[in-house]
Amino acid sequence: MTQATNYRVAVVGGAGSWGWRYLSSFASHPRCDLVAIVDRAADRAREFADHFGVPAVFSDIAELLERETPDIVSVVLPVSISHQVVIACAEAGVRAISCEKPIAVRLSEADRMVDVCRERGAALGCGTAHFEARNLVQVAQWIRGGALGALTGAAIPNGLPREVSGAGCVQLTQMRLLCGAEVEWVEGQTQDPTAWEEGWDLPGGGTAADLVDDHTHLDCPAYGRLGLTGGLVCEIPVPRPDRPGVVSVAGDEGQVWVSHPECVLIQGAGARSTPVRPDFMEQSDPATWHEHWFDPVIERLVTAVDTGQEAQCSGHDYRQALEIAIALVLSAQRGGERVNLPLTDREHGIVPRPFRLRGGDAVGWNRLGRERGPGLPK
């Protein structure tokens, strides 16, 4: 039997709080060898590198790619610059790349990321939506196998509070996964983002309003209706900030709710309906799942290199979520009129909250509930 290949891995933006999670998971993966951290926070990057035994630290992606081309690169950067690094990695020959949510500010940037990665044969994974509920991928396969009968509708019951793009991309991506369908039209309404969160100021004294123009819109709460292929409709009611984000999919023989710590599965109609637990629900312990939920985020990149196939929870998935979010905002601006997808004008974009746009080092770690930047655990 041929021995499995180990892959060389770099984490760009590895000296942040989310970068720490990537480093920790890669370090514990038996087939991943961490070769570099890329981060401008030099002291913290060196501290992290020493902790995980990473041999090299670079201040920018160009330095790394001049030295070597890793097999896998995870990009954990603010959305304002993430797309540039993803494209540079793909053009350099990196075989699997991941980035965080939202995938980009502008739809044209997301298109370019997806297109270049496909042209260069690089698998692009984005975000963690497929892994944020236990067994979600298996639940989607269970639905596709006919467990709910013919699908009749979907919902995001608590709306898309605070961020239709920045956080809402998770629910939109989960809904697409469970329905196995694309969104063909959108009817949307939005709410004032400043009513949900103060402090939309930007580094240097600017405000969010400075970033808004005819094509660029401010991230905000949203609700409405989404029309999917096959005639399904996803209902998104007025947001409820006090409730967690969930997704529901219904069929003529049952229903699924995506919740935590695990999904709720119902089979049967009317008086015959009853909760069920297929065998795959027993493959992990819901009491300890949260300790290992990030492992599949890493494994999907290793699998993508092994198989040469698209990464689970892909850049395409999050590109589609960004487009849906933009369409909801455009529809709201037009009085809730129906907006058909795909959008013809690909220059539209949504500016996310400051910490997503610029990062914790730029806007202050207190925005993330921290008085100082991330460091090694005590």
Instruction: Look up the CATH superfamily of 133-284+317-349.
Output: Dihydrodipicolinate Reductase; domain 2 (3.30.360.10)
Q: Output b/e per residue, 40-78; b: 16+ Cβ within 10 A.
A: ebeebbeebbeebebeebbeebeebbeeeebbbbbbbbb
Instruction: Look up the CATH superfamily of 7-130+296-314.
Output: NAD(P)-binding Rossmann-like Domain (3.40.50.720)
Which ranges in the chain are annotated with CATH 3.30.360.10? Answer: 133-284+317-349
Which ranges in the chain are annotated with CATH 3.40.50.720? Answer: 7-130+296-314
In this predicted model, what pLDDT tens digit does every residue of 104-139 receive, in sequence order?
Answer: 999 999 999 999 999 999 999 999 999 999 999 999
**Of 12, 24, 117, 137, nearest in space to 377 by CA:** 24
Q: For residue 204, what pLDDT is reported?
A: 63
Name 54's Cβ contacts closer than 8 Å, sequence gap at least 6.
14, 23, 34, 35, 36, 37, 48
User: Which amino acid does the sequence have at 30?
Assistant: P
pTM for the predicted model, two decimal places: 0.95
- Which residue has 């603010």 as its token pair? 78
Query: What SS3 class is residue 127?
Result: coil
Q: What is the mean pLDDT of each run of 10 residues along the chain (378 residues)?
A: 80 93 96 97 95 97 97 97 98 98 97 98 97 94 96 96 94 98 98 70 65 84 97 96 86 92 89 91 76 92 97 98 98 97 97 88 74 68
Name 50's Cβ contacts closer than 8 Å, sequence gap at least 6.
none
**Contact, 42 vs 58, CB < 8 A?**
no
